[in-house]
Chain A
Amino acid sequence: MTTAAPPHEVTYLEAISEALDEEMSRDDSVFLLGEDIGPYGGAFRITEGFQKKYGEWRVLDTPLAESGIVGAAIGAAMMGMRPVVEMQFADFISCAFDQITEVAAKNHYRWGAAVPMVIRAPFGGGVHGGPFHSECPEGWFFHSPGLKLVAPSTPYDAKGLLKAAIRDNNPVIYFEHKFLYRRLKAVLPTEDYIVPIGKAEVKRIGRDISVITYGAMVHLALEAADLLAKEGTELEVVDLRTLIPLDKQTIFESVRKTSKAIMLHEDNKTGGIGAEVAALVAEECFDCLDGPILRIAAPDTPVPFSTTLEEFFLPKVVDVVAAARKLAAY
């Protein structure tokens, strides 16, 4: 066991490192594989010092081959290991799409072989990464039964959800938001904890409008909620935390209370997770709705590079405020 560190402030990024470190100490079957994660410590330095501590075979630098890496993780997982794959950027996960959706996702359903594996996918924009270093690819996998998807928004959730993902017996894609890496800090519990997969959290309680969101957008919603509170409109911010399996109960409870719902995500609008949540709310909460279900999302374009273009592309606090004002009028 790792000796518990005294209470201290950690960033979202450090929370991810701590989760990996503690799980590797706790369980010999946990190992890491990916590109440049060894002596270099990974593109974002999340595994800095890990290879020194755990050795070359538990912090494994691989060739540049995402499909091969994920395939290897699947094979090792079936042999009782708990691999954690680092995608250098979530965008590159497209190279491993087939292994994830056809092999990992279907294995247990088809022939009963569990694949306890985590793919860490640094996702999202706001970092001037352009079309290949800013994507939100969660929608692709949202439609592939057999995968679990999580997307933490705080250091606490980042650590607790990663630990839960590593201990889960299924393939879990862990969407970690690059924009949050060094922008958020929190003091975390010293004792071991997990954030259970499948549980959303109401990050702010409010009576008027539910904003259902995840990832970096949670903070946008919270900011908008502060502004709107001054006008007397109280937003309830529901952080999904887990995208699959969706915590429908928490979503429905919130919407039944507020009677108004906004879906907010950074992914493209069409066919996004917001569309599915909106459909679920329409099916289950129709009789309590006092206004249309609104969606705030990125437009249907690749993520543009230039500052002005990307700022235009990403959802903003003013978008949430405008949508909330529109709904408040109902």
Chain B
Amino acid sequence: MEAADAVKDIKRADLLQMYYYLRLTRALEDRVTALYRQGRIMGGVYTSNGMEAIAVGYSSAVGRNDIIAPYHRDMGAFLIRGITPGEVIAQYLGKRTGPTKGKDGNVHMGDLKRGVIGFVSHLADNLPVATGVALAFKIRRESRVVVTNTGDGGTSRGDFHEAMNFAAVRKLPVVFFCNNNQYAYSTPLHLQMAIPDVVDRAKAYGMPGEIVDGNDVAAVYVAAQRAVRRARAGGGPTFLECKTMRMHGHSEHDSAKYVPRELLEEWKKKDPILKAEQMLTKLGYADAGTLHEVEERVKKEIEAGVEFAEQSPMPEGPEALEGVFASDEEVKP
């Protein structure tokens, strides 16, 4: 974790951009949670509260031609890839203007045009899929990479193992992130695995792994950059375990009483937005005025998003029948 030094190599504009996305993610998810409490959201609300730095960090480290396969606590990834707050809220409201046109809810979004693989509820399902994305790049000798993420719980699934193993055997250009937020729904880490660090699993595949401070956006960004560079150069996959804490319940319906309050208090001090502000101030990259400007900008964008989503039409019932199959014209052979 030599992020403290590495941060000096990150451009001010890039750090400020990441700070903006941290704030945008937090504000968007807070707004969606408020809508949920008002009973206006259909289905569950899964947030990345307290963990925003992971998706923002890795998504900032990939190129425009690269692909990301985020999981359900990666709102920042969708935003960085250009899915707007309005589209996200529309998705939560089941509107036709959401990325899935009402076919799926909440964070189950994807858009190949913007380089985002759609998330599947079954955790770790997208890891083999990401491996296949990397395989296509390798077969075609393209210098593109794919970054994917799952939780600590997801690493217990067979698909995690099958993807990690295949990627390592074939030295595929994929970076596996793990958001270790200590709990998979209500199950604490020690009941999920008999090792304290998820990263130890990488050794079994002959894959380099690293522990990263998941609440430090600069640390995540630097580690992701290094892994992406390595993958692009033909060095194969990397596993990055981001240590963090899930500050809300699994979903907003879950009060998470099973999490000791002291643990939350301790992690609150390490809030990723707070950390980013301290870093920006210390580096002289931002003062209170700059930070306030970001806050105001974000607020406006979220409110515009709410308005867009609320004014968007609902899909018509029979649209439920559309899109089961891709047409002959959709992909040219």
Contact = CB atoms under 8 A, between A and B. Distances in A.
| Interface residue tally on B, bucketed by range | 35 or more
Nearest to A116: B331
B99 interface: yes
A270 interface: no
B327 interface: yes
Contacts of B99: 111
A118 to B, nearest CB: 13
Interface stretch (B128-136, B221-229, B234-242, B300-308): B128-136
Among B117, B146, B325, chain A packs the most CB atoms within 10 A around the CB of B325
A62 B323 CA distance: 32
Interface string A105-116: 011111111111
A167 interface: yes
Contacts of A102: 120, 122, 125
Contacts of B159: 67-68, 71, 98-99
A303 interface: no
Interface stretch (B18-26, B102-110, B283-291): B102-110
A31 B163 contact: no
B304 to A, nearest CB: 24
Interface string B132-166: 11111111100000100000000000110111011
B162 A63 contact: yes
Interface in A234-277: none
B324 interface: yes
A68 B323 CA distance: 26
A80 interface: yes
Contacts of B295: none
A300 interface: no
A257 to B, nearest CB: 30
Contacts of B104: 110-111
Contacts of B162: 63, 65, 67-69, 71
Given A71-B159, A79-B132, 20 more contacts: A60-B170, A63-B166, A65-B161, A75-B117, A76-B136, A78-B112, A79-B137, A80-B136, A98-B122, A99-B125, A102-B120, A103-B120, A109-B323, A110-B103, A113-B117, A116-B326, A116-B333, A148-B325, A169-B325, A170-B326
27 contacts: A57-B139, A69-B162, A71-B125, A71-B162, A74-B132, A75-B128, A75-B129, A75-B132, A75-B134, A76-B135, A78-B133, A79-B67, A81-B140, A99-B129, A99-B159, A110-B103, A110-B104, A111-B99, A111-B104, A111-B108, A112-B112, A114-B326, A114-B330, A116-B331, A146-B325, A169-B326, A170-B326
Interface of B: 67, 99-100, 103-104, 108-112, 117-118, 120, 122, 125-140, 146, 158-159, 161-163, 165-166, 169-170, 323-328, 330-331, 333
